[in-house]
């Protein structure tokens, strides 16, 4: 039997938590069938590093300014993004603009001036994605409707609503606009009823998989505050968890793992078409 191959569509391989043993982390993921990771940058200072790491590991990358990094971003960072997208236009490993979006999780982020600042950076980056004709990797935490409103005004070539956690109606809206929905560790928790219902019932054509490593640990790595106080450390989420997350999603949909693999693989390429050339050339 051959090992099913996976694409981790959202994985922060350049995160400090993974830096000390990134080669071991990536090798373990490869051993478990993770063929390719998409590494979204989060700030202009990380663009070079994200690109270099994706090249070194044989992965893909996206360039963008994450909503949680907007507070410390400079106006000139948007020009740096434009310049980088121009300079590396012919790099087959550059597959999207991301991670971009809006985050209204914390009250301070929902209010002026950070709300407006996030919107300004998000909309400017959507315009860059449109200009460079690249799909987007979207962060939509507590902001699904606001993200959608911007997408309706600034049309981009599709992409992924990563770690999607909205209602069925909101999910349908994204799919109708041509976006895929990223499912990851959060969908492995029994208590995530609404999310698991989406993972089970959304049309197969909209589904992609991700770990969002090192964030969003699946349930088997998660420790409650109480357990942590007891000295049990939180397990570290890495792209090696993707096949087990995939098994959870396959179980939710009552699909054989191989069938889910084909669906998720094709959808990832459809969301980020440059992956096709990359995967066939390496
Ligand atoms: Zn992310």
- Which CATH number is 70's domain given? 3.20.20.140
Question: Per residue in 105-129, pLDDT tens?
Answer: 988 888 989 999 999 999 999 999 9
Within a domain: 225: no
CA distance 27 to 56: 12
pLDDT band at 241 (very low <50, low <70, confident <90, very high): very high
- CA 1 to ligand 1 center in whole angstroms: 33
Within a domain: 76: yes
The domain tally of the chain equals 1
Q: Are the C-beta atoms of 227 and 221 separated by less than 8 Å?
A: no
In order of 205, 210, 279, the CA distances from 68 in angstroms are 30, 20, 31
Q: Quick one: pLDDT at residue 218?
A: 92
Within a domain: 238: no
Within a domain: 235: no
- CA 16 to ligand 1 center in whole angstroms: 14
How crowded is residue 132: how many other Cβ atoms within 10 Å of its Cβ? Answer: 19
Q: Quick one: pLDDT at residue 215?
A: 86
Range of the domain at 166: 40-208+253-281
Helix locations, the chain, DSSP H: 16-19, 22-31, 47-57, 76-87, 107-110, 114-132, 144-153, 168-176, 193-201, 225-229, 242-252, 257-271, 274-281
Q: How far is CA 236 from the centre of its chain?
A: 17
Q: Average model confidence (pLDDT) for the chain?
A: 95
Q: Quick one: pLDDT at residue 244?
A: 97
pLDDT band at 232 (very low <50, low <70, confident <90, very high): confident
Question: Per residue in 138-149, pLDDT tens?
Answer: 999 999 999 999
Within a domain: 8: no
- CA 70 to ligand 1 center in whole angstroms: 14
State yes or no: pLDDT of 1 exceeds 80: no
**Helix 274-281 and helix 257-271: axis angle, to 10°?**
120
Q: If you average pLDDT over residues 247-254, what whole number do you get?
A: 97
Beta-carbon contacts of residue 151 (< 8 Å; ≥ 6 apart)? 126, 177, 179
- CA 63 to ligand 1 center in whole angstroms: 12
Q: Are the C-beta atoms of 98 and 62 separated by less than 8 Å?
A: yes
Residue from 51, 35, 58 nearest 94 by CA:
51
Q: Quick one: pLDDT at residue 106?
A: 86
Q: If you average pLDDT over residues 193-209, what whole number do you get?
A: 97
Show the tokens assigned to 39: 């590494």
Within a domain: 162: yes
CA distance 48 to 123: 23
Backbone angles phi, psi at 34, to 5 degrees: -80, 105
CA distance 282 to 40: 20
Within a domain: 191: yes
Within a domain: 245: no
- CA 41 to ligand 1 center in whole angstroms: 8
- CA 280 to ligand 1 center in whole angstroms: 26
- CA 18 to ligand 1 center in whole angstroms: 14
Identify the bridge partners of residue 63 per DSSP, sorted by sequence position.
97
Show the tokens assigned to 254: 């009552």
Q: Are the C-beta atoms of 103 and 138 separated by less than 8 Å?
A: no
Q: What is the pTM of this model?
A: 0.96
State yes or no: pLDDT of 223 exceeds 90: no
Locus of tokens 């909209």: 206
- For ligand 1, a single-atom ion, the residues with CB < 5 A are 99
């Amino acid at each position: 039997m051959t090992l099913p191959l996976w694409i981790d569509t959202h994985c922060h391989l350049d995160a400090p938590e993974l830096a000390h043993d990134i080669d071991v982390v990536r090798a373990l993921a490869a051993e478990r069938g993770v063929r390719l990771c998409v590494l979204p940058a989060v700030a202009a200072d990380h663009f070079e590093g994200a690109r270099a790491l994706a090249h070194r590991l044989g992965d893909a990358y996206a360039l963008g300014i994450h909503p949680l990094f907007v507070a410390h971003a400079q106006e000139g960072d948007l020009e740096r993004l434009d310049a980088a997208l121009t300079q590396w236009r012919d790099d087959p490993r550059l597959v999207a603009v991301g991670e971009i979006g809006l985050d209204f999780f914390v009250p301070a982020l929902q209010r002026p001036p950070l709300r407006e600042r996030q919107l300004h950076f998000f909309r400017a980056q959507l315009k860059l994605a449109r200009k460079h004709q690249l799909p987007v990797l979207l962060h939509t935490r507590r902001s699904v409707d606001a993200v959608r409103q911007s997408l309706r005004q600034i049309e981009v070539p599709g992409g992924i609503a990563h770690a999607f956690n909205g209602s069925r109606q909101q999910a349908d809206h994204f799919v109708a606009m041509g976006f895929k929905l990223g499912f990851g560790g959060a969908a492995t928790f029994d208590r995530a009823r609404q999310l698991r219902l989406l993972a089970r019932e959304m049309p197969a054509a909209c589904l992609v998989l991700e770990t969002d490593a090192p964030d969003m640990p699946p349930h088997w790595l998660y420790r409650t505050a109480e357990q942590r106080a007891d000295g049990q450390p939180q397990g570290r989420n890495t792209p090696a968890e993707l096949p087990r997350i995939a098994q959870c999603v396959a179980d939710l949909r009552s699909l054989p793992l191989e069938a889910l693999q084909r669906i998720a693989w094709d959808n990832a390429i459809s969301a980020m078409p440059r992956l096709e050339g990359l995967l066939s050339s390496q």
